[in-house]
A and B are shown apart, each in its own frame.
Chain A
Amino acid sequence: ITSTNVSLSCISEMRDKLRKWREENYRNSEQIVDVGEELLNEHASKLGDDIWIIYEQVMIAALDCSRDDLAWSCLQELKRQFPDSHRVKRLAGMRLEALERYEDANKLYDSILQDDPTNTAARKRKISILRAQGKSSEAIRELNEYLEQFVGDQEAWHELSELYINEHDYAKAAFCLEELMMTNPHNHLYCEQYAEVKYTQGGLENLELARKYFAQALKLNNRNMRALFGLYMSASHIAASPKVSAKVKKDNMKYGAWAASQISRAYQMAGRGKKENKCSVKAVEEMLESMQITMS
């Protein structure tokens, strides 16, 4: 194997990593900068047309790591190659945001929108600026307006649910998550988040809904620990409520007991051979024991 072949496979490994992170939308910016900077500095000629999307990916990661030097040089390459591109203009705007020059960033996005009022990327950047400035109610208002037009934008629905959760507006957060569950019925995370919101809203009806959706999340992914604990806690609270019928109490004690045994098993397996987990295993066992007492 000649040295050129070895470096070629290395290069393709690095490219694959970057592609995977791009496709899965990971925000592991330090790693992206690490791998991407080396690729761009040492092996740019071997990247073919991929180089432009890599410049974009590395630039955004560089902004995340306060590497304005790297972000600037990536931006320059992209500007040179795509002089009138809205996509590149948006990247320039993101750099201004990173420098907290929000007014200048907004001007840039407004000029994109004047040219192309349907440019969703620019609209979403403007909403991100509102968020960064702590203007939550305005961000919520703009996001709602945006979703009236672009009702299928999953990312936007999720962003809105997060904003509502931060504002303690659980009913509206639940509504957003319902939209997401409808369009993504196999996504266990949306089910589990919805259940958490319902649990937080409280009251018997919401607890029962919470339990159902924690169970659904587990059906979709039986290793979701939050869903497992959530099922345990909601079932236990329902069983302990003086307002429920004997049958409901019995059923929920059954669900709670099942969840408890699953939790116990999961922690036993996790703790095997690892002395440092002793503490968390013990804490869980004590919790399960103490809740048994309150339930009966």
Chain B
Amino acid sequence: MGEVELSCLAYAKMYLHASQFPRCSVNGLLLSSSPAGGDVCITDCVPLLHTHLSLAPITQLALTQVDAWCSQTHQRIMGYYQANACVSDSSPTPCALKIAEKIFEQCNNAVLLMIDGEKMFPGCRVPPIVMYERKDARWALKDKHTIMLRQWEETCAIVNQLFSSGDQALLVDFDSHLDDITKDWTNQKLNAKIMELISPANGNV
């Protein structure tokens, strides 16, 4: 399979999600607004759960709602991410494989992304992610060199900025939304802040 690009927006929110719940396994969906069949770009993500990842009802509910939102906003679900509570083990769990499988049924260049907790420390030079793609009926490790994170330094700076300004607390996942449905799981507010930091007018790029 070819190159997969991971946008700053998607990366930042995944990172924030994992940081917000350091003692839990967390997961979410990877979205793309680029047309199917072209270059694969993960343009956004939706943080889903931080409790009971392997129970069906809320996962099903979230998938249905994200699907509905995606068709309204011309995006499609093209992947799944997960960060395990046990930091030393970043291998995909049965639950991760199951959900990724479901996504693959609808999207033949779906990716599975595991966040490597051990590399999530300040000053780490390497993106803390491991990506899997579908090859020969199984999920195979994707070659690191085919995963593009444009402007990696700037992305790290933006994530740090979100922490120092306290804006990382704005992140809402689907679980938190169910605890308080006035909270927005599409994270419009946080998205706007991140896009502001990315914009060239800010002198950041």
Contacts and interface: CB of A to CB of B under 8 A. Distances in A.
22 contacts: A134-B86, A165-B54, A196-B52, A196-B55, A196-B56, A199-B55, A199-B56, A200-B55, A226-B58, A226-B178, A229-B61, A229-B178, A234-B57, A274-B182, A277-B184, A279-B73, A279-B188, A280-B184, A282-B69, A283-B68, A286-B72, A287-B65
A49 interface: no
B72 A193 contact: no
Interface of A: 132, 134, 165-166, 168, 193, 195-197, 199-200, 202, 210, 225-226, 229-230, 233-234, 266-267, 270, 274, 276-277, 279-280, 282-284, 286-287, 290
A202 B57 CA distance: 10
B126 interface: no
B54 A196 contact: no
B108 interface: no
B181 A283 contact: no
Interface residue tally on B, bucketed by range: 20 to 34
A225 B179 CA distance: 7
Contact of A270 (B57, B68, B73, B181): B181
B119 interface: no
B64 interface: yes
B189 interface: yes
B94 interface: yes
B72 A280 contact: no
Contacts of A287: 61, 64-65, 68
Interface in B89-123: 89, 94-95
B199 interface: no
B33 interface: no
A283 B66 CA distance: 7
A233 B186 contact: no
A199 B72 contact: no
